[in-house]
Amino acid sequence: MLQRILRILGAMAIVGALAACAAPAPSPGAGGEAVSVAAGDAAAPSSPSGVLIVALPLDPNSINPPNAADRMAGNVINQIFDSLLEVDNVTNELRPSLAPEWTVSEDGMEYTFKLREGVRFHDGSPFDAQDVVATFEAGKDPVNAYASAYANVTVEVVDDYTVKLKPSTPDVTFLRSLVGYNIISAEQFAAEGNAGIEVRPIGSGPFKFVEWSKGNRIVLEAFEEYWDEGKPLVQQVIFRPIPESSTRLAAIQTGEVHIINRLSADEARTLEGVDGVELITYPADRVYYIAFNNLTTGVGKPTEDVRVRQAMNYAVDRQAIVDSLFGGNARLSAGFVTPWNLGFDESLQPYPYDPERARALLAEAGYPNGFTIGMACPIGAYTSFEDVCQAVANYLAEVGITLEGGEIEFLESGVYWDRQSKKELPPLFGDSWSAAVGEALPRLVGALGGWQESYSAWSDPEIDRYLAAISSTFDVEARAALYKELQAYMYENPPFIYLYEPITFEAIRSAVKGYAPNSVEQYYLKHVYLAE
């Protein structure tokens, strides 16, 4: 334990001493405070200069906004396109982008936006209400990954620079979710359709698209007529996909790239003290858990008994797992709402490791000698998660809960999600869920919505009631209170074996200034520059 504290202090000291760009642990509610330029750093350049090279852990599937299925694709898109709103680089709060002003109707079903005038797309065409219409029109093509999300919104043009957006169902996170709807050019969509955007995306963002050589590089160049004065600060951004983590680690050391992300704690440690490299660490808004199933494969299993589910939560030594596999760099999870979500209940303590209590609860439920149950985990989806699953299984075995077939059913992640969407996974299955809207609602609904949701295997009328209430409560404080009640309920009636919320490591070259990813790994490179 002491060693762990020292290690964390060590890591903090290094990051702190070098003082550049690190996003320190955000306080609950806010996304983190400013870190930026420390004294002695070179000032931001007056005109864009330099080439910034960013390593990606995978080649984006697409850089057409409604198709960006993963975070890395989203991060490329965010540099090319603007949205109506954006998230502040540092405070993680909503702020205007293409829409400087907005009003929300009382029932939360109508959002009126004033649009910024004088904005131009990279092809020179002016931005107006028609582009917002085109954005949602293009997005709802069913081939797109996010088609249904786009289809849920109707756009009404009030005048050239005013639009009304109407979600089809009440959605308390609607405003926040608009950050993810990147505005495309109506001219381009009319002329080239989605296929055209796939190959040559035209946005109004700080960088314009130059080329994408798949698997090799994506090149963007500063857009001189960007509406946000004085931005961007670098002349060129080049994204380089490097799938092998060891190679990424090599490339940051040689200086071939300026930014790498998704480092494991072990990898981050090897970069400590490396000349010209700085570590960035921040907690991720992502929850890892082992889910129970009471819809299909888990029907009639002991896990339907709440005491059994509690017992399983007591049986796992989360701290030991986190220490051993993540060098202590993760928050132990006590629920499905994280500290950076609305309505987080900080009084809730993670289930302690208490195998005695677990055995007692199992005995009380009628399983003094434990039982046998199936468990599955995905392969290659998340950092060290295969190891986490094995550790969990090991702890369960210690209280007598053994696995069907004697081992975890490991499935390649594609197959895994396929089976998950058909609710065919065994009664215990591992997974994780992030949230990009600052609230836990989407992941709560996604994982616990019962038959309505593809990836849910759990249904609990009480939880349903809470979710329905939260979805329709537009008052923020009332909603926060509901979240707290739900957390308390889900603590006593756990639909998961709660595990952890990871701390993310990234590394940058010392010359990189102003880089501040938020808790869901998003970043805006228009603020970044390279010191001499």
Partner 1 sequence: MEQAIAPTAPIRQSSPVSGRSAHLLRLLRRDRLALLGLVILVGFVLIAIFAPLLAPHDPLAQNLRASRLPPAWQEGGSWEHPLGTDRLGRDLLSRILYGARVSLLVGFFGATLACLLGLAVGVLAGYLGGWVDALISGLVNLLLSIPYLVLVIVVAALVGRSLVNVILLFGITTAPLFARVVRGEVLRLRAMAFVEATVAIGTPPLRVLLRHIVPNLTGPLVTLATFEMSAMIFYEAGLGFLGLSVPPNVPSWGNLLSTGRESLMAGMPWLSLYPGLAIALTALGINLLGDWLRDATDPRMRR
Partner 2 sequence: MQRYLLMRLGQSLLLLFGALVLVFWMVRLTGDPAALLIARDFASPEQLQEMRTALGLNDALHVQFIRYTGDVLRGDLGYSLRFRQPVREVIFAALPITLLLSTLAMAIALTVAIPLGVIGGVSPGSWKDSLARLVGLLGQATPTFWLALILIWVFAVNLRWLPSFGVDGPHSFILPAFALSIGAVGQLVRLTRSAVLEIRNEDYIRTARSKGLSPFTIGLHHIARNASIALVSVVGIQFTYLMAGSIYIESIFAIPGIGWMLNEAIRNRDFVLVQSLTLFIATFAVLIHLATDVIYSVLDPRIRHR
Site for partner 1 in 268-287 (CB under 8 A): 269-270
Instruction: State in angstroms the smallest separation of the CB of 73 from partner 1.
Output: 22
Pick 108 or 442: Cβ nearer partner 2:
442
Among 176, 443, 484, 526, binds partner 2 (CB under 8 A): 443
250: contact with partner 1 by CB under 8 A = yes
Pick 235 or 402: Cβ nearer partner 1:
402
Instruction: State in angstroms the smallest separation of the CB of 271 from partner 1.
Output: 10
The helix (run of H) or strand (run of E) holding residue 388 is helix 385-398
**176: which 2 tokens?**
């926040």
Among 152, 296, 390, 459, binds partner 1 (CB under 8 A): 390
Among 410, 417, 455, 474, binds partner 1 (CB under 8 A): 410
Residues in binding contact with partner 2, number by CB under 8 A: 46
Assess contact for 401 and 435: CB atoms under 8 A: no
Range in contact with partner 1 (rule: CB under 8 A) among 130-138, 264-272, 457-465, 524-532: 264-272
CA dihedral 135, 141, 144, 149 (to 10 degrees): 60
147: contact with partner 2 by CB under 8 A = yes
56: contact with partner 1 by CB under 8 A = no
CA-to-CA distance for 2 and 7, rounded, in angstroms? 8
Site for partner 1 in 319-348 (CB under 8 A): 320-321, 323-325
Instruction: State in angstroms the smallest separation of the CB of 455 from partner 1.
Output: 21
The helix (run of H) or strand (run of E) holding residue 221 is strand 217-222
Instruction: State in angstroms the smallest separation of the CB of 482 from partner 2.
Output: 20
Pick 161 or 410: Cβ nearer partner 1:
410
Angle, alpha carbons 331-333-335 (nearest 5°): 145
Cα–Cα distance list, 42 to 29, 103, 226, 379, 515 (Å): 32, 40, 23, 44, 14
Pick 379 or 469: Cβ nearer partner 1:
379
Number of Cβ within a 10 Å radius of residue 170: 14
Cα–Cα distance list, 418 to 159, 252, 291, 409 (Å): 44, 35, 16, 14
Instruction: State in angstroms the smallest separation of the CB of 394 from partner 1.
Output: 5
DSSP secondary structure letters along 104-128: E-TTS--EEEEPPSS-B-TTSPBP-
**171: which 2 tokens?**
């959605």
198: contact with partner 2 by CB under 8 A = yes
Pick 118 or 142: Cβ nearer partner 2:
142
215: contact with partner 2 by CB under 8 A = yes
Angle, alpha carbons 514-71-411 (nearest 5°): 140
59: contact with partner 1 by CB under 8 A = no
Edge-to-edge order in the sheet of strand 162-167: 101-104, 111-114, 162-167, 153-159
Cis peptide before 232 (omega within 30 of 0): yes
Residues in binding contact with partner 1, number by CB under 8 A: 30
Pick 104 or 199: Cβ nearer partner 2:
199
Burial class of residue 492 in the structure, from the number of CB atoms within 10 Å of its CB (0-12 exposed, 13-18 middle, 19+ buried): exposed
412: contact with partner 1 by CB under 8 A = yes
Instruction: State in angstroms the smallest separation of the CB of 364 from partner 1.
Output: 27
217: contact with partner 2 by CB under 8 A = yes
Residue 140 DSSP label = T
Pick 389 or 463: Cβ nearer partner 1:
389
CA-to-CA distance for 8 and 503, rounded, in angstroms? 11
Burial class of residue 343 in the structure, from the number of CB atoms within 10 Å of its CB (0-12 exposed, 13-18 middle, 19+ buried): buried
Pick 13 or 274: Cβ nearer partner 2:
274
Range in contact with partner 2 (rule: CB under 8 A) among 102-110, 201-209, 392-400, 440-448: 440-448
Pick 139 or 426: Cβ nearer partner 2:
139
By C-alpha distance, which of 185, 321, 341 is closest to 331? 321
Binding region for partner 2 (CB under 8 A): 59, 61-62, 64, 67, 69, 142-143, 145-149, 198-199, 213-217, 240-244, 246-247, 250-251, 253-254, 256, 380, 412, 414-415, 417-418, 421, 442-443, 446, 452-455
